[in-house]
Amino acid sequence: MNVTVYDIILYFHIVSAVLAIGPLFVLLLVIKQLNGVQQEIERSYVSLISVAVRFIMHAGHALVVTGALLILFGPWPWHTSWVIMTLGVMLLSAFFLASGFTRVLRRFDQAEDKRLILRKLWNTTWIYILLMLVMLWLMVQKPILW
């Protein structure tokens, strides 16, 4: 068996993708549990969501670094359509993660209608999952779009 540097980087890229997507499904369960809980428990759940979002961000950093290394050492040039589209969706998802979750979580304690905030968190989580799945599709299928 001949393991190359590219294979090792690819392995870490896949692991970081799992770590960037997986916690989002746990977030859905936590958000669902937040409906109508006591304030002490609510704070714990909101804290858990904040930690999960931070973890997802760091996994995303590893994903970006390993992805850049894969392009650097791999057979695909930077100007390949699926690479450009992946970078575009990645930038969109990074902005969305930073602004969508953080902004909503900051407003959670001051919100009069917490159900509205929970609905926004739920929708934000699903949108981010969809963005991650689009990136996953682009990286696995490597479609030639132009």
The 10s digit of each residue's pLDDT in 114-127 is 888 889 889 989 99
| Extended strands (E) in 16-98 | none
**pLDDT higher than threshold 90 for residue 89:** yes
Banded model confidence at residue 105, pLDDT cuts 50, 70, 90: confident
Tens-digit pLDDT profile for residues 15-51? 999 999 999 999 999 999 888 788 788 888 888 988 9
Nearest to 136 by CA among 82, 95, 98: 82
Contacts of 107 (CB under 8 A, 6+ apart): 117
What is the model's pLDDT at position 43? 85
Residue-level length of the chain: 146
Residue burial 84-108, b: 16+ Cβ < 10 Å; e: rest: ebbbebbeebeeebeebbeebbeeb
CA distance 127 to 113: 22
pTM given for the model: 0.85
65 vs 108: which has the higher pLDDT: 65
